[in-house]
Amino acid sequence: SRSRARKQAHVTQIESEVHQLREENEQLRLNSRLQWRCRCR
């Protein structure tokens, strides 16, 4: 049962990392879109 708790903690950690990376990715996507727009002008 201890290993199940450890596994659950690991899954929770990974899920939070995924959430963080998705937000970061969205920011980078917005930034690159803005930079691309600036370059075109």
Range of the domain at 16: 1-41
Write down the pTM of the prediction. 0.69
pLDDT, residue 34, reads: 83
Q: Output the CA–CA distances (angstroms, integers) from residue 37 to 6, 12, 20, 27, 41, in the order listed.
A: 47, 38, 26, 15, 7
pLDDT, residue 15, reads: 98
What is the rounded end-to-end Cα distance, in angstroms, of the chain? 61
pLDDT, residue 41, reads: 57
Instruction: Compute CA 24 distance to the chain's CA centroid, rounded to the nearest angstrom.
Output: 5
pLDDT in tens, 1-41: 789 999 999 999 999 999 999 999 999 999 988 887 777 65
What's the CA gap between 35 and 38, in Å, rounded? 5
pLDDT, residue 1, reads: 78
pLDDT, residue 33, reads: 86
* Count of other CB atoms within 10 angstroms of residue 16: 10
Total domain count, the chain: 1
